[in-house]
Structure 1
């Protein structure tokens, strides 16, 4: 059942790599995530946890990898929705978000921080390559990866 283990490893590495890219673009590249960007991350966190459990619980590997693949696909669907909002194919589901940390600030300092904070809009792509935004890349890689993982599981029978 080598294919099952390979699917498990892919179900771990794909979302981990996408999360590393998202965090890297945020912490190193200075791209602040909008609310829909955060929505795309949550299923990947779940997929990493499920796939990691699959590696340490071989008896439950198949259902855990299936759940991880479905979580990866869910992130891809959110990526499609987000990319559609960025390309103005449809309206978004959320208001703009901010990155202001309000901890320990008085009212005047809070107002100053809010006015100085970058406003992150879900309907404007902060970065694109060949016309594809980060949400679009997440959609392509997540949906494609989930299909590959599920195909590997099917062949592992």
Structure 2
């Protein structure tokens, strides 16, 4: 029973690791194809950047008998990807004009009030709009896909975390 439980948690950690790596890899490939990410897109990557090493840690801990540390890592992964789900939901709402987006990347561009403002805005000339999706895949925007992926990863992690403890 204990070996099966650890094995299930290990498989879950490895699935989370694989899906997170594939998701970030896909985002980088799409970016390399010329689709520049907006500010909210970049923020949605943060749970993946934190989640990849955390999932790897959980897998290694389980292989070395550190079930307690792995369970903590799985709980953190669940919370991390739940936050990612919320951020992706917010971004999807911005795209649908249900929520106001950040002023840096939504709505009309502001006019420069002075030459100094104009010069500082030159650094931001490549601002990508958060409220206009650049790409749809099977009718869903990338933030829509991220809702599904992040929610799935959060659910997997929390289910593995909540499972019975070894020896119980």
TM-score normalised according to structure 2 size: 0.75
Please say if residues 12 and 157 of structure 2, whose CA atoms lie closer than 8 Å, have aligned partners that are also in contact: yes
Q: Does 1:81 align with 2:87?
A: no
Structure 2 Cα separation of the partners of residues 9 and 81 of structure 1: 28
Structure 1 Cα separation of the partners of residues 71 and 163 of structure 2: 12
1:91 corresponds, among 92, 100, 103, to 100
RMSD: 2.4
TM-score normalised according to structure 1 size: 0.80
* Matched residue, 1:37: 41
1:76 deviation in Å? 1.6
Structure 2 Cα separation of the partners of residues 47 and 61 of structure 1: 13
Q: Does 1:13 align with 2:13?
A: no
* Matched residue, 2:129: 121
Counterparts of 1:130-145 in structure 2, within 5 Å, are: 130-145=138-153
Structure 1 Cα separation of the partners of residues 17 and 52 of structure 2: 5
Please say if residues 89 and 144 of structure 2, whose CA atoms lie closer than 8 Å, have aligned partners that are also in contact: yes
Q: Which runs of 5+ in 1 are unaligned?
A: 98-110
1:53 deviation in Å? 1.3
Structure 2 Cα separation of the partners of residues 34 and 78 of structure 1: 13
Structure 1 Cα separation of the partners of residues 88 and 79 of structure 2: 14
1:31 deviation in Å? 0.7
Q: Which runs of 5+ in 2 are unaligned?
A: 1-5, 107-118
Structure 2 Cα separation of the partners of residues 124 and 144 of structure 1: 25
Go from structure 1 to structure 2 and tell me whether the alpha carbon gap of 1:55 and 1:152 turns closer, same or farther (over 3 Å shift). Answer: closer
Counterparts of 1:57-76 in structure 2, within 5 Å, are: 57-58=61-62, 59=66, 60-76=69-85
3-state secondary structure, aligned to 1:80: helix
